[in-house]
Amino acid sequence: MLTQEHAQTAREFLEASNREFDAGDHLQASEKLWGAAAHALMAAMQERGISGNSHRALRFHAEKLAREYGDPNIRLGFHIADKFHRNFCNDFMDEGEYDLDRPIVHDFVERVLSLPAQG
């Protein structure tokens, strides 16, 4: 997948997660938020010539970007997206968490996709 395709997929997953939340399917919505974050990171990595799409590689790159840009919201956003991924598997989040945490993942995706190629 090309960088632009990863970015487009990330944004499509954000929109799909909104539709899933509206339909009451919190598990699918949670996984789509994780997918959006993962694809945003894959786009940023690919833009920098870095390969890897494992969970570990994504976490490492999110931490690296947070340090590189001095932006703790990148780190926070990744960890909240990962929380949604775990929720997909274990269904432990409640309505209040969805309402508080969804915007953080949306911000993370847009923040990562708007980073310049080199810091």
**118 located within any domain:** no
pLDDT, one tens digit per residue, over 81-105 is: 999 999 999 999 998 999 999 999 9
**78 located within any domain:** yes
Residue 39 pLDDT greater than 80, yes or no = yes
pLDDT band at 52 (very low <50, low <70, confident <90, very high): confident
**102 located within any domain:** yes
**53 located within any domain:** yes
Q: What is the pLDDT of residue 119?
A: 46
Neighbours of 119 (CB within 10 A): 12
Residue 67's CATH number: 1.20.120.330
Mean pLDDT in residue range 42-70 = 92
* Number of domains present in the structure of the chain: 1
**119 located within any domain:** no
pTM for the whole structure? 0.93
Q: What is the mean pLDDT of the chain?
A: 94
Give me the domain span that covers residue 9: 3-113
What is the residue-wise DSSP string for the chain? --HHHHHHHHHHHHHHHHHHHHHT-HHHHHHHHHHHHHHHHHHHHHHTT----SHHHHHHHHHHHHHHHT-HHHHHHHHHHHHHHHHHHH----HHHHHHHHHHHHHHHHHHHTS-S--
pLDDT, one tens digit per residue, over 9-33 is: 999 999 999 999 999 999 999 999 9
